Amino acid sequence: MEFVLAELSDQVMTARAAQRPLSIRGGATKRFYGEATDLEDLHSHAVLDMSSLCGVVNYQPAELVITARAGTLLSDIEQVLDQEGQMLAFEPPRLGAASTLGGCVASGLSGPRRMAAGSLRDFVLGAKLLDSSGVVLEFGGEVMKNVAGYDVSRLLAGSMGVFGALVEVSLKVVPKPFEEATLVLQATEAEALQHFGRWRTMPLAISATSWEDPGDGGRVSVRLSGSGSAVAAGVRRIGGERLNEDEAQAYWVSLRDQTHAFFRARPLWRLALPPRARALQAGPTLIEWNGGQRWLAADADPLDLRRRVQALGGHATLYRYDYKPVGVPVFHPLAAGLLDVSRRLKQEFDPVGIFNPKRLFSEF
Q: What's the whole-number mean pLDDT along residues 58-68?
A: 95
Where are any strands of DSSP class E within the chain?
22-25, 46-49, 56-60, 65-69, 86-87, 124-130, 136-140, 165-172, 174-175, 179-186, 206-212, 219-226, 241-242, 268-272, 285-288, 293-296, 315-320
Q: What's the whole-number mean pLDDT along residues 37-55?
A: 77
- Label the pairing between strands 241-242 and 179-186: antiparallel
Whole-angstrom distance, CA of residue 7 vs CA of residue 286: 44
The answer, yes or no, to whether residue 142 has pLDDT greater than 50, is: no
Question: Given phi > 0 = left and psi -120 to 50 = alpha, else beta, which region is 21?
Answer: beta
The pLDDT value recorded for residue 21 is: 95
Query: How high does pLDDT run on average in the chain?
Result: 93
The pLDDT value recorded for residue 37 is: 66
Please write the tens of the pLDDT for every residue from 189-217.
999 999 999 999 999 999 999 999 999 89
The pLDDT value recorded for residue 44 is: 56
Q: What's the whole-number mean pLDDT along residues 339-345?
A: 92
The pLDDT value recorded for residue 41 is: 52
Please write the tens of the pLDDT for every residue from 102-123.
999 999 999 999 999 999 999 9
Q: How confident is the model at residue 4 (pLDDT cuts 50, 70, 90)?
A: very high
Q: How confident is the model at residue 39 (pLDDT cuts 50, 70, 90)?
A: very low
The pLDDT value recorded for residue 141 is: 54
Is this prediction's pTM over 0.75? yes
If one looks up domain 1-176+339-349 in CATH, what number appears? 3.30.465.10
Least confident of 40-44, 165-169, 271-275, 340-344: 40-44
The pLDDT value recorded for residue 273 is: 98
The answer, yes or no, to whether residue 84 has pLDDT greater than 60, is: yes
Whole-angstrom distance, CA of residue 119 vs CA of residue 222: 19
Per-residue DSSP letter, 275: T
Q: How confident is the model at residue 315 (pLDDT cuts 50, 70, 90)?
A: very high
The answer, yes or no, to whether residue 286 has pLDDT greater than 70, is: yes
Least confident of 4-18, 42-56, 346-360: 42-56
Q: What's the whole-number mean pLDDT along residues 327-334?
A: 94
The answer, yes or no, to whether residue 289 has pLDDT greater than 60, is: yes
Q: How confident is the model at residue 148 (pLDDT cuts 50, 70, 90)?
A: very low
The pLDDT value recorded for residue 364 is: 86
